[in-house]
C-alpha cells in the first residue's frame, strides 16, 4: 500500500474512519462485524485508524481499543475530544461541544481508558467551542503533549484563520475536514494554509457519505437515526437533482477502470501527497474496494473532465443543516 506522512508518522495512504461501526448511519453493525472490518483493515495494511469520543458515545473507542490492542504498536491511533456525550439531569446522553481545558482533560482520560492505551498518537479538537478562545483549547492539548498523553495535535472543521491561531500556540500536525468531489470547502483557504504550515490534511467523508459509491438507497428509506436525514443534499428534492450527476460519473469511473468509490478516493490521492482520506465502511468487501483506490491511476485528461462534473456548483444543497453549519468554523462558498 502507498504510504504518506502525518507529522513524524508514516501511515497508509488510505486510513479507516471508524465512525460507521458505531454511529451516524442508522443502526450500527454488530460488534462482531465491526471487529471483522477492523481486523481486515489491519491485515490489508491500514495503519491509520480514526475514532472519537462522540462516536457511539464512547462505544466506538471501546470497540477500537479492544480489537486493535494487540496491534497497537504498529498503528497510528487517532481520536478526538471537545465534542462528546454528556448525561443530562433526565439521564439522557446528548452531544455537547465543550472546549474548556477541564472538559478536554476529562474527554482525554475517558478516551485513554476506552482505547486501552497510555498515549494517543493524534488527538483532535473535534469542534472549536466558539465560547472558548481556540488558543486556550490548544493550550490544554499542548499540556497533554508535554505530559506524554498524546503525541500530536489535530483540529477538525476549522478555518484557515483558526488554524493559524492554533498553530501559533503549538504546532498542529493534522487538520481534518470533509473533503470530496462534492464538498470542496477546503479549497477556499484551508488546503493552502496546511501546505504553508506543513500540516497534513485528513479528508473525512471522501465518498460523500455514500453518494460517490453510487450506493445510497432511496433517501426516503433512511433510518430515523441516520444523520443524512438532516443534511440538505439528501433532501428528496435536492437529491433528485444530485442523482442526475451519477450517470456521467459512472462513465468516468468505467473509463478509469475502477468503481465509483475508487474514483472518488483516487481523485483525492491525485490532488496532493499531503492529503490522507479516511473512508468508513461496515463491510469487508467495501473496505477492500476502497483500499484498491491506491492502485488507480487517473490521466490528466480524465481529471480535467471529472472536476467540472461534480463540484460545489453542480451539487444541490448545503452539506450541513443551518444548525450544524453554526457549529463548525469552515469557510463557505458565496451563496452557501
For the annotated catalytic residues, the residue numbers are 55
Which of 163, 164, 139, 142 has the alpha carbon at shortest distance from 152? Answer: 142
- Give 87's strand partners: 93
Got the DSSP string for 251-291?
HHHHHHTS-HHHHHHHHHHHH-TTEEE----S-HHHHHHHH
Tell me how far CA of residue 24 lies from CA of 21, 171, 295, in angstroms.
Answer: 9, 31, 29
- Give 50's strand partners: 17, 78
C-beta neighbour count of 247 within 10 angstroms: 9
The span from the CA of 153 to the CA of 104, in Å, is: 13
C-alpha cell at 143: 499540556
C-beta neighbour count of 170 within 10 angstroms: 18
The span from the CA of 30 to the CA of 282, in Å, is: 10
DSSP conformation class of 11? E
Tell me how far CA of residue 289 lies from CA of 72, 190, 266, 276, in angstroms.
Answer: 24, 29, 12, 17
What Rg, from alpha-carbon coordinates, does the chain have?
A: 19
Query: Taking a C-beta distance cutoff of 8 angstroms, is the pair 153, 170 a contact?
Result: yes
Kindly provide the b/e burial profile for residues 60-69, where b requires at least 16 CB atoms within 10 angstroms of the residue's own CB. Answer: bbbbbbbbbe
C-alpha cell at 55: 462516536
For residue 218, the SS3 value is coil
Amino acid at each position: 500500500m502507498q504510504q504518506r506522512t502525518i507529522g513524524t508518522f508514516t501511515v497508509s495512504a488510505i486510513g479507516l474512519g471508524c465512525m460507521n461501526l458505531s454511529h451516524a448511519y442508522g443502526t450500527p453493525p454488530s460488534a462482531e462485524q465491526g471487529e471483522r472490518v477492523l481486523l481486515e483493515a489491519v491485515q490489508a495494511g491500514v495503519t491509520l485508524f480514526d475514532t472519537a469520543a462522540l462516536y457511539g458515545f464512547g462505544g466506538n473507542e471501546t470497540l477500537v481499543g479492544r480489537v486493535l490492542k494487540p496491534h497497537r504498536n504498529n498503528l497510528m491511533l487517532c481520536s478526538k475530544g471537545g465534542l462528546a456525550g454528556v448525561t443530562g439531569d433526565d439521564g439522557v446522553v446528548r452531544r455537547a461541544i465543550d472546549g474548556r481545558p477541564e472538559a478536554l482533560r476529562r474527554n482525554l482520560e475517558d478516551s485513554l481508558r476506552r482505547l486501552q492505551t497510555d498515549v494517543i498518537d493524534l488527538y483532535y479538537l473535534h469542534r472549536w467551542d466558539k465560547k472558548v478562545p481556540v488558543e486556550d483549547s490548544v493550550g490544554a492539548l499542548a499540556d497533554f503533549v508535554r505530559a506524554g498523553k498524546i503525541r500530536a495535535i489535530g483540529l477538525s472543521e476549522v478555518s484557515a484563520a483558526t488554524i493559524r491561531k492554533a498553530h501559533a500556540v503549538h504546532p498542529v500536525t493534522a487538520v481534518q475536514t470533509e473533503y470530496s468531489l462534492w464538498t470542496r470547502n477546503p479549497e477556499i483557504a484551508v488546503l493552502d494554509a496546511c501546505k504553508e504550515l506543513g500540516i497534513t490534511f485528513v479528508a473525512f467523508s471522501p465518498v460523500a457519505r455514500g453518494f460517490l459509491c453510487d450506493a445510497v438507497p432511496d433517501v426516503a428509506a433512511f433510518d430515523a437515526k441516520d444523520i443524512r436525514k438532516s443534511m440538505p443534499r439528501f433532501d428528496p428534492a435536492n437529491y433528485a437533482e444530485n442523482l442526475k450527476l451519477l450517470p456521467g460519473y459512472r462513465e468516468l469511473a468505467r473509463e478509469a477502470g475502477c468503481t465509483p468509490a475508487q474514483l472518488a478516493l483516487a481523485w483525492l490521492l491525485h490532488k496532493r501527497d499531503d492529503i490522507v482520506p479516511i473512508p468508513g465502511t461496515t463491510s469487508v468487501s467495501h473496505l477492500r474496494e476502497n483500499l484498491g483506490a491506491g492502485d488507480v491511476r487517473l490521466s490528466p485528461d480524465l481529471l480535467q473532465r471529472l472536476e467540472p462534473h461534480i463540484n460545489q456548483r453542480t451539487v444541490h444543497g448545503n452539506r450541513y443543516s443551518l444548525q450544524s453549519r453554526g457549529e463548525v468554523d469552515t469557510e463557505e462558498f458565496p451563496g452557501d
